[in-house]
């Protein structure tokens, strides 16, 4: 018994010593999508600040494909030593577990939460010339008067925009046709060209076209209105459903088994980085909101989001092959 206790004490001491010397080499932060999206903005902003704080390079590696599963599979199999991290988001952590066919890992078993980084307001918009609706209430009324005739585009099956619109359809009982694309850019091109009626996506991609008058914002998916569009009511306001929310979000996770001391150190440093002027200004320019909290807070948040989106996935019959 004494030998067992001594061995445990020695192990704990060695883990603590290892954490104190962490990091002593570069850290890989994987962004599970192609360059140019919001995940890369978030990843590079935080990586730059962490590099300064930790005295070691935190470099971003883009690894797209498979709705994020290629990168997630890679990181799940990486050493749990704090030197490989990945940006997780609403899709990879809260949707794919229920929509993905034969997912090669278990999000809750094979990863540990480190820190929530950002929330991204998403909008419901329509083509201003093609759709006469001025707000969400009018759009829903129009959809109910013409079941199956209106359509919406998304960045693909299981994307945040797909989820948002299926959630809207679920709570309003509307029949609006989904047209999936391979990314936000292609579907936005068709929306602007008048080949689609509507979409839901993050503010960075949509705001320039709202300002130009080509798109009309009919609702905000966040709990509160946003500064960039103060006159656009939230979906919750218009639907009369207090907890209706379709906010996109991003956070950092690590392979399961990563020492708790390292997770806590990373969480502390990430929260410090999120308070820096560099990150807050970068986020503000893209209408992202900073999220500060513990690793356990992030874990609870992921579970809550999984509960929310599991219902939507099952109701819509969403499948990602």
List per-residue pLDDT tens for the chain, 321 residues long.
Answer: 544 444 444 444 444 545 568 999 999 999 987 776 678 788 999 999 999 999 999 999 988 777 788 999 999 999 999 999 999 989 899 999 998 888 899 999 999 999 999 998 889 999 999 999 999 999 999 999 999 999 999 887 777 888 899 999 999 999 999 998 877 888 899 999 999 999 998 888 899 999 999 999 999 999 899 988 999 999 999 999 988 988 889 999 999 999 999 999 999 999 999 999 999 998 888 788 888 999 999 999 999 999 988 988 888 787 877
Which segments of the chain does DSSP mark as H helices, in order? 2-20, 38-54, 69-76, 96-99, 107-110, 136-145, 160-172, 184-192, 203-212, 235-239, 260-274, 277-285, 295-316
User: What are the beta bridge partners of residue 59?
Assistant: 28
Give the pLDDT confidence score for residue 299 in this predicted structure: 97
CB atoms within 10 A of CB 112: 20
Tracing tokens 């609706």 back to the chain, one arrives at: 133
Give the pLDDT confidence score for residue 20 in this predicted structure: 67
Give the pLDDT confidence score for residue 285 in this predicted structure: 81
Whole-prediction pTM: 0.81
Give the pLDDT confidence score for residue 243 in this predicted structure: 87
Give the pLDDT confidence score for residue 1 in this predicted structure: 52
CA dihedral 244, 248, 251, 256 (to 10 degrees): 70
Please state, in angstroms and rounded to a whole number, the distance separating the CA atoms of residues 148 and 34: 33
Domains (range + CATH), the chain: 24-120+248-316 (3.40.190.150), 122-239 (3.40.190.10)
- The helix/strand/coil state of 124 is strand
């Amino acid at each position: 018994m004494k030998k067992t206790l001594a061995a445990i004490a020695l192990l704990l001491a060695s883990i603590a010593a290892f954490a104190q010397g962490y990091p002593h080499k570069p850290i890989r932060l994987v962004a599970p999508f192609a360059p140019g999206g919001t995940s890369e903005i978030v990843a590079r902003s935080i990586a730059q600040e962490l590099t300064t704080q930790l005295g070691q390079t935190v470099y971003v590696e883009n690894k797209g494909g498979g709705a994020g599963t290629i990168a997630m599979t890679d990181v799940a199999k990486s050493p749990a030593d704090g030197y490989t991290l990945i940006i997780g988001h609403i899709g990879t952590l809260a949707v794919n577990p229920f929509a993905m066919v034969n997912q090669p890992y278990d999000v809750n078993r094979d990863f540990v939460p480190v820190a929530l980084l950002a929330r991204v307001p998403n909008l419901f918009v329509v083509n201003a010339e093609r759709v006469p609706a001025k707000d969400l209430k009018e759009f829903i009324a129009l959809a109910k008067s013409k079941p199956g005739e209106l359509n919406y585009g998304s960045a693909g099956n299981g994307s945040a925009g797909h989820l948002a619109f299926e959630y809207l359809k679920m709570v309003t009982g509307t029949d609006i046709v989904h047209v999936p694309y391979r990314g936000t850019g292609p579907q936005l091109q068709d929306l602007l060209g008048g080949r689609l009626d509507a979409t839901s996506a993050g503010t960075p991609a949509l705001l320039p076209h709202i300002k130009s008058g080509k798109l009309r914002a009919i609702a905000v998916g966040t709990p509160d209105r946003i500064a960039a569009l103060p006159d656009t009511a939230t979906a919750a306001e218009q639907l009369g459903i207090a907890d209706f929310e379709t906010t996109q979000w991003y956070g950092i996770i690590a392979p399961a088994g990563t020492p708790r001391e390292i997770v806590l150190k990373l969480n502390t440093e990430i929260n410090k980085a999120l308070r820096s002027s560099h990150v807050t200004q970068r986020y503000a320019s893209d209408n992202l909101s900073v999220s500060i909290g513990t690793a356990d807070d992030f874990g609870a948040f992921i579970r809550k989001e999984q509960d929310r989106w599991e219902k939507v996935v099952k109701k819509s019959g969403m499948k990602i092959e």
